[in-house]
């Protein structure tokens, strides 16, 4: 008995496991893959080409001289520790909120979810104007800060708040997805056995969702480091790295702004890779 399908079709063939039949992949599938590869290459080119051009236009001498400048070093350190501080402080409240969003049903939950995503949608210069009114000396928070000698405007604390404002949705959404992936039956079983809700959260829910939480923390930290629009309104001085890059571009042009950009990108990439590696090691320990 002959095989009922035509056997003269061209294209790569695959042998079915456990049989003597060959399946030949149609040529139109290959064309589709080639089209997707071409379109994907355009996207990668859009990302890589500007960065590669900036690196190629910066000489090693310019790079080392810029990295040795005190102003550049101070701005980069300020960027790192304000973003880190904002991430750690606001995560104390963001992670429990993510757990509530993942586990509880309450009125206007969709509205709350939409509010959380607002900082991603609104222009960051507008976010800076809103934050300036929130932390100024005439505001409630500003008066509370003034009572202890703290002025948020033009202060690292104000910078940390601006960074956290625009980046906290990344942590909340990632942590919410992590908590949603924790089997509810495990939490109920622990409660049935007499564990308190706090113990269930810290011994079951949090460890099992830790991979997503770590990913959200890294994204929040990285996004905070790159913030410019909101920070420049709240605190032009002291200058974080993105503001310093803008300052040098406006005052001296592209030639002097490019080396600072390259130094900041290299340090940001190094930090991102290290944090990802540490997160992977931490997840491996949790699995073990």
Tell me the CATH number at 142. 1.10.3720.10
Based on the fold, state whether residues 23 and 134 are members of the same structural domain. Answer: no
Based on the fold, state whether residues 261 and 199 are members of the same structural domain. Answer: yes
pLDDT at residue number 5: 47
pLDDT greater than 60 at residue 114: yes
Based on the fold, state whether residues 165 and 275 are members of the same structural domain. Answer: yes
What mean pLDDT comes out for the span 231-255? 95
Based on the fold, state whether residues 139 and 251 are members of the same structural domain. Answer: yes
What mean pLDDT comes out for the span 8-37? 64
pLDDT at residue number 30: 84
Cα end-to-end distance, the chain, whole Å: 56
Instruction: Please provide residue 15's backbone torsions phi and psi, each rounded to the nearest 5 degrees.
Output: -90, 130
Based on the fold, state whether residues 100 and 208 are members of the same structural domain. Answer: yes
pLDDT greater than 50 at residue 2: no
Based on the fold, state whether residues 32 and 159 are members of the same structural domain. Answer: no
Q: 161: which strand partners?
A: none
Give percent of the chain above pLDDT 70.
87
**Number of domains making up the chain:** 2
Q: Which residue has the higher pLDDT, 172 or 16?
A: 172
Based on the fold, state whether residues 19 and 71 are members of the same structural domain. Answer: no
Residue pair 75/159 in contact (Cβ under 8 Å)? The answer is no
**Would residue 71 count as lying in a domain?**
yes
pLDDT greater than 50 at residue 259: yes
Based on the fold, state whether residues 33 and 103 are members of the same structural domain. Answer: no
Q: Structural domain of residue 245, as residue ranges?
A: 62-287
Structure tokens, 121: 């949608």
Based on the fold, state whether residues 166 and 233 are members of the same structural domain. Answer: yes
Structure tokens, 150: 């703290």
């Amino acid at each position: 008995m002959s095989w009922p399908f035509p056997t003269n079709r061209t294209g790569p063939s695959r042998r079915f496991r456990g049989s003597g039949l060959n399946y030949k992949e149609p040529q139109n599938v290959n064309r589709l893959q080639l089209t997707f590869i071409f379109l994907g290459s355009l996207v990668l080119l859009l990302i890589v080409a500007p960065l590669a051009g900036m690196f190629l236009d910066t000489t090693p001498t310019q790079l080392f001289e810029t990295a040795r400048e005190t102003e550049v070093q101070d701005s980069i350190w300020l960027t790192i520790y304000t973003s880190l501080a904002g991430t750690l402080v606001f995560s104390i409240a963001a992670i429990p909120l993510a757990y509530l969003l993942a586990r509880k049903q309450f009125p206007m939950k969709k509205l709350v979810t939409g509010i959380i995503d607002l900082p991603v949608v609104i222009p960051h210069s507008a976010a800076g104007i809103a934050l300036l009114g929130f932390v100024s000396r005439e505001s409630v928070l500003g008066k509370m800060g003034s009572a202890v000698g703290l002025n948020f405007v033009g202060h690292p604390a104000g910078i940390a708040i601006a960074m956290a404002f625009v980046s906290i949705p990344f942590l909340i959404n990632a942590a919410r997805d992590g908590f949603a992936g924790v089997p509810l039956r495990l939490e109920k079983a622990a409660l049935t056995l007499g564990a308190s809700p706090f113990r269930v959260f810290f011994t079951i829910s949090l460890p099992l969702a830790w991979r997503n939480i770590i990913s959200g923390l890294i994204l929040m930290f990285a996004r905070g480091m790159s913030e410019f629009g909101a920070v420049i309104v709240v605190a032009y001085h002291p200058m974080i790295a993105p503001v310093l890059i803008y300052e040098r571009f406006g005052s001296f042009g592209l030639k002097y702004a490019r080396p600072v950009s390259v130094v900041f990108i290299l340090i940001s990439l190094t930090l991102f890779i290290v944090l990802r590696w540490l997160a992977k090691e931490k997840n491996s320990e949790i699995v073990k």
